[in-house]
Structure 1
Amino acid sequence: MTTLLHIDASARPGRSDETRFGSHSRRLSALFVDAWRAARPADPVIYRDVGQSPPAPVTGAWIHAAFTPVDQRENWMTETLAESDVLVDELLGADVIVVGVPMYNFGVPAQFKAYIDNIVRVGRTFGFDLSRDGDPYWPLISPGKKLVILSSRGDFGYEPGQRLEHMNHVEPGIRTPFAYIGITETYSVAVEYDEFGDGRLQASLKSAEDAIPALVAQLTKASVAA
Structure 2
Amino acid sequence: MSQILVIESSARKQGSVSRQLTEQFIAHWQAAHPGDQIKVRDLAVDQVPHLDGNLLGGWMTPAEQQSEAERAALALSNTLTDELLAADVLVLAAPMYNFAIPSTLKAWLDHVLRAGVTFKYGEQGPEGLLQGKRAFVLTARGGVYAGTGLDHQEPYLRQALGFIGIEDVQFIHAEGLNMGGEFQQQGLAKAQAQLAAVA
Shorter-chain TM-score category?
A: over 0.9
Kindly indicate whether residue 172 of structure 2 is the aligned counterpart of residue 189 of structure 1. Answer: yes
Aligned equivalents of 1:52, 1:173: Cα separation in 2: 24
- Taking a change above 3 Å as real, the CA distance of residues 194 and 52 of structure 1, as seen in their structure-2 partners, is farther
What is the aligned partner in structure 2 of residue 42 from structure 1?
35
Kindly indicate whether residue 17 of structure 2 is the aligned counterpart of residue 24 of structure 1. Answer: yes
Kindly indicate whether residue 104 of structure 2 is the aligned counterpart of residue 121 of structure 1. Answer: no
Aligned residues with identical type, % of pairs:
34
Equivalent residue in structure 2 for 1:159, among 146, 171, 174: 146
Provide the alpha-carbon RMSD of the alignment: 1.7
Aligned equivalents of 1:133, 1:170: Cα separation in 2: 30
Amino acid at match of 1:138: E
Kindly indicate whether residue 100 of structure 2 is the aligned counterpart of residue 107 of structure 1. Answer: yes
User: Cα deviation per residue 1:138-171 (whole Å; 9 max; x = unaligned)?
Assistant: 2222x11001000011111x222xxxx1110111
User: Cα deviation per residue 1:108-142 (whole Å; 9 max; x = unaligned)?
Assistant: 001111011111112211224xxx5562x32222x
* Pairs aligned (count): 198
Q: CA deviation at 1:61?
A: 2.4
Q: CA deviation at 1:28?
A: 1.0
User: Greater CA radius of gyration, 1 or 2?
Assistant: 1
> Per the alignment, in what secondary structure is the counterpart of residue 42 of structure 1?
coil
TM-score by length of 1: 0.82
- Which sections of structure 1, spanning at least 5 residues, go unmatched? 15-21, 217-226
Higher share in strand: 2
> Per the alignment, in what secondary structure is the counterpart of residue 136 of structure 2?
strand
Equivalence map 1:201-220=2 (5 Å): 201-216=184-199
Kept in 1, the 8 Å contact 2:177–2:188? The answer is: no
